[in-house]
Structures are given as C-alpha cells and as structure tokens.
Amino acid sequence: MKQIIPHIVLGIGALVFFFPFAWLVSTSLKPDHQIFVFPPVLFPHPVRWENFRLVFEYIPFFRLIGNTVLVTGLNITGTLLSCSLVAYSFARLRWPGRDTLFVVMLSTMMLPAQVTMIPIYLLFARLGWVDTFKPLWVPSLFGSAFHIFLLRQFLLTIPRELEEAALVDGAGYFNIYRTIMLPLIKPALATVAIFTFMANWNDFLHPLIYLNSLDRMTLAIGLRLLQATHGSEWGLLMAASTMMTVPVVIVFFFTQRYFIQGITLTGLKG
Amino acid sequence: MRQAERRAGLLFCLPWLLGFLLFTAGPILTSIGLSFAWYDVLNRPAFVGLENYTRLLTGDPLFWKSLANTLYITVVGVPLGVLTGLSLAMLLNLNVRGLTWYRTIYYLPSIVPVVASSILWTWILNPQFGLLNAALQGMGINGPSWLASETWAKPGIILMGLWGSGSTMLIYLAGLKGIPRHLYESAEVDGANRWRRFIHITIPMLTPTLFFTTTMGIIGSFQVFTQAYVMTGGGPVDSTLFYVYYLFNNAFGYLRMGYASAQAWVLFVIILAVTLLQLKMARHWVYYEVEAR
C-alpha cells in the first residue's frame, strides 16, 4: 500500500520522459497527412518507411556514419593511450615537478574552451587541416585533463607491493604500466572510453567549425544540413534523428554499468 | 633506479605536457594578444589596445543582450534542473520495485545527441502541430508559439534541457545512497518525522553534491550553443542569442577574431567570478563531514 503513491508519481514521470521518444519514432513513420493534423495521432497508419529511404537519398548517410565512427574511434584510441600513460606517471612515478604540473593540469579545467578555441582554429588553419578530420582527433593524442584526473584517482588505489615485486624482477616502468596497471584499471578505462564516445558522437561545434565538404561531414553536421534544407519535412527529420540516436542507445544498453559508474564518479570526485 | 623512475615519469607525462604547451598555454598567450587586436584572418592583426574591450562593454547592445539571455536561462534553468533531478532521485531512492526500469527511462533522454534532441524538440514545440501544445490543449490551455515567440523561446529551450535531467539525477541518487542509514534510524528514534528528516539529514548531507551540480550547471549554462543554433538560429529578434553563440558569430561568422577573443576573456572572468562567489558562499551552506581516514 505504501508503495502505490510513489509508483503512480514515478509512472507519470516516466510517461512524460518517454513520450518524446515515442513521438520521435512515430513521426518518423508517418506520411505528411498524419503529421500536419491537430490533435496529433500517435500511431502512424499506414506505416511509411519512405522517410528513412529519403534520408539516404538526400545525404550520403553511410558515408557520414562512417566518418563519425572513424573520428570517434580515433578519439577513443588516442584518449585511452595518452590519458592512461600520463595518469600512470602522475599517480605512480616520482619525478621532480610532478605535483606542480598536476596542479597546473587541474587548473586548466577551469578555463572555458572558448578562450583557446580561436587560436587553436588559427593553428589548424595554418597547418592546412581545415576540412580534414585531423583537428577532430589529433588533440586526443595529448590527453585531456579530466580523464587523466579520473584515471589517476583509480591508479592511486593500487597497492605498492604489486609494482615493487615487478621492479625487483627487473621489469621496466613501461612494462609495469602495460602488464600490471592497465589490466587493473579496465573499468575506469571503460568509463573513459564511453565518455569519449558520447562526446565525439554528439560533438557539434568542432565539426561545424572545421568540416565543409559534404562527404567529410559527421552525422551531427549532416543532420543539421538536412534540417537546413528540408526544415519542414518532419517525417524525414525524425527518421534521420532516430538513426543518429539508435547507436547511442545500443551502446548504452550494453555498457549501462560503466555509464552509471562514470557519472556517479564525476559527482563524487568533484 | 631512481634515475630511471624520473626519466620514465617525465617521458610518460610528455603527451600531456606537449598538449598543454600546444593547445592551452600557447593559445592562451595568442588569445590575450588577439584580444588587443583587430584581426579578420585575411589581413595582418592590427593592435588596437583596449578598444575591443571598451566597445564590448560600452558600445555593443548585442553583447549585453546575449549576456542577459544567458543569465535568464541560468537563473531559471539551473534551479529548475536541480529541482527536477533531485525530485526524481528522491523518488527513485524509495526502493520501489522496477527501480532500474525507471532509472533507465529517466536517464535515456540525457544521452540523445544534442542535434537530434534539438530537432525533436523543435517539432515537439511546434505551435500548430506539436505534442506539447496538444497536451496543453487537452488541459484547456492555449499553448504559446514557443520558439517563434520572443517571450517563450527561452522557456522552450529550458524545457528541453529539463528533459535531459537524467545525468544530474544519477549524481543525486549516488549522493543519497551515500548517506549513512544510522543517521535516519537515530533521528527516527528521536521522533523526527519524514519532513524533518529530509530537512535536517538529507539536505545537509547532500549539500556537497548540490554544490557540485549547481556549479557545473551554471558553467554549462553559460556555454549553451548547439540548441540555440539548431532550434532558433538565435532568434526571434536575438532572444536566444546566448553568450557563446554571439562569440561564435563574431569569430566564425563575421571573422572578428580579436573581438571574439576579448569576448572569450570576459566570459572567463565571469565564470571565474561566479565560481569564486559560489566557493565563498559554500562555506555557509555546504556541509562537509570530517573525513575519517
């Protein structure tokens, strides 16, 4: 009995939060004469798949999804490699200047990205990298403060004895990093990978600034282009939006644990 | 051995150090320099002293408008976001059955790509055929024209933001789970009712989380861009031209790189000031338990 009221409230809330999804998918399957009606119909009749086919006709969708996967993949690889190595150095190795640099790194997180955005753009433009993917992924090779910090916190919890035994056996530091540290922080690496995936799949500003040609665009920019050219064809736009969202939802369902762990950590460590 | 450790330490740190010089320290210096110059990319930068700053603060109504718009969504949007996230987390913390299902449903909207959710919400907020006005109609309310209205465009964007409260909810939920049970138990023994337990235990124990989420919320709100770019293009009549949007227009629309750099530094000062103010106020309302280690 005590459970009923929370269930009612939670249920209504869930309905409100879920409805936009239903509306997204339902509109994507509707013919125009069911879209422009008031009051709206929820269930498309007849179901029209044509909207999805048209997306492929108006923008090179496979190309765009390929580009997005490529940029995202490169970013995940770069971020995991660079951030874990730097985090290992900050967490486990003693060298002069380490603590000062660590504070410097933390303070860079305070700097709004807008401050460095223009000079970085000018730098990449000078290198002739505009309208290539390089500005979107090369920076990931140099690590990012937030992820380094997150991984460092994990690495700090590993007991000293493990690496000391390896050192006695004559293992080098890189080997310790590769064979002892990396396997132990796999869950944290998964979290970083997911954050990077989300950030890049959803990124709008950077592709907007750097990419111009249609066959080099990412999904986010392609979707925007579709909106700019077919602004009132809601069935089409909802079909394209659905297709951009589905991969994220799939990744979420397979990696839910790391998603939630990541967000929780962000909150607690902050 | 120590020698080897030092060398390895510095070597492994090198990626970040190089990145710091290339993508942070260097650009900071360049950006400071540019903010005192007039630079349109095509011609050499011309030194203009403080002109960018004085023009920004005294001769540019759009700057003030964009700042006011940003303050609006911050002052209205951030507290509403906290309230939504906290309420959802409180409800989920009741340990009802099907908790994971509810949690998933509430969280899911926050992972939808911004471009996709912006386009979806443009359609939901459509004055004639949109879902929201249909729902309002059902309640006997004549819905406004949302994104087409100078008054309602910002609330529309805030509403869409609330749909994505799921990630803040998760942070609160973790915070709530971290409150030791024995506090509630002893309060119950002392005869404190549900409301008093909420006011005297839950809220104080949650203040560090509240502090974190409001700080991040404010910083995020000052950097809103994509939603406005996709949903309204800054209109109608610049009513959704937010700070970073105007900065973007100056830099990449009108190629006023120096002017936009000055704008970026003003943003930095604003964010820094707000954060420091929050830290200062935090001493009066954030409760940190003495950590036992």
Residue of A102, A103, A115 best to disrupt the B interface, most CBs of B under 10 A? A115
Which residues are bridge partners to B37 per DSSP? B47
Q: What is the pLDDT of residue A269?
A: 46
Nearest CA to A226 out of B150, B122, B255 is that of: B122
What does the domain layout of chain A look like in residue ranges? 1-48, 60-269
Task: Give me the total of CB pairs closer than 8 Å, taking one residue from chain A and one from chain B.
Answer: 264
Q: Does A241 touch chain B (CB under 8 A)?
A: yes
Q: Do B19 and A139 touch (CB under 8 A)?
A: yes
What residues contact residue A42 under an 8 Å CB cut-off, 6+ apart?
A: A22, A23, A26
Reduced 3-state DSSP string for B21-88: HHHHHHHHHHHHHHHCEECCCCCCCEECCCHHHHHHHHCCHHHHHHHHHHHHHHHHHHHHHHHHHHHH
Q: Do A119 and B30 touch (CB under 8 A)?
A: yes
Q: Across the interface, which of B163, B212, B226 has its CB nearest the CB of A204? A: B226
Nearest CA to B34 out of A223, A119, A60 is that of: A119
Per-residue pLDDT tens over the stretch B204-258: 899 989 998 999 999 999 999 999 999 999 989 999 999 999 999 999 999 999 9
From chain A, the residues in CB contact with B96 under 8 A are: 3, 6-7, 10
Taking residues B139-168, report their average pLDDT: 93
Quick one: tokens of A117?
Answer: 């955005």
Cα B63 from Cα B259, distance rounded (Å):
11
Q: What is the mean pLDDT of each run of 10 residues along chain A (270 residues)?
A: 79 92 91 82 84 91 95 97 97 93 93 95 95 96 94 90 86 91 92 93 95 92 93 91 94 86 64
Cα A79 from Cα A72, distance rounded (Å):
10
From chain A, the residues in CB contact with B37 under 8 A are: none
Quick one: tokens of A227?
Answer: 């909106």
What residues contact residue B203 under an 8 Å CB cut-off, 6+ apart?
A: none
Pick the CATH number of A60-269 from 2.60.120.10, 1.10.3720.10, 3.40.50.620, 3.20.20.70: 1.10.3720.10
From chain B, the residues in CB contact with A129 under 8 A are: none
Q: What is the pLDDT of residue B290?
A: 52
Domains of chain B plus CATH, in order, are 54-285 (1.10.3720.10)
Helix (H, G, I), strand (E, B) or coil at B239: coil
Nearest CA in chain A to B84: A13
**Among A127-141, A251-265, B166-180, B270-284, which stretch is predicted with the lowest mean pLDDT?**
A251-265
Report helix angle B203-222 to B166-177, nearest 10.
Answer: 160
Cα A261 from Cα B257, distance rounded (Å):
40
CA distance A17 to chain B (A): 6
From chain B, the residues in CB contact with A82 under 8 A are: 15-16, 19
Q: Does A27 touch chain B (CB under 8 A)?
A: yes
Q: What is the pLDDT of residue A182?
A: 94
**Given pLDDT bands bounded at 50, 70 and 90, which one contains residue B100?**
confident
Nearest 10 degrees: CA dihedral of A147, A148, A149, A153? Answer: 100
Nearest CA to B112 out of A223, A64, A31, A228 is that of: A223
Nearest CA in chain B to A139: B19
Cα A16 from Cα B50, distance rounded (Å):
51
ipTM (interface predicted TM): 0.90
Q: Do B105 and A14 touch (CB under 8 A)?
A: yes
Q: What is the pLDDT of residue B119?
A: 95
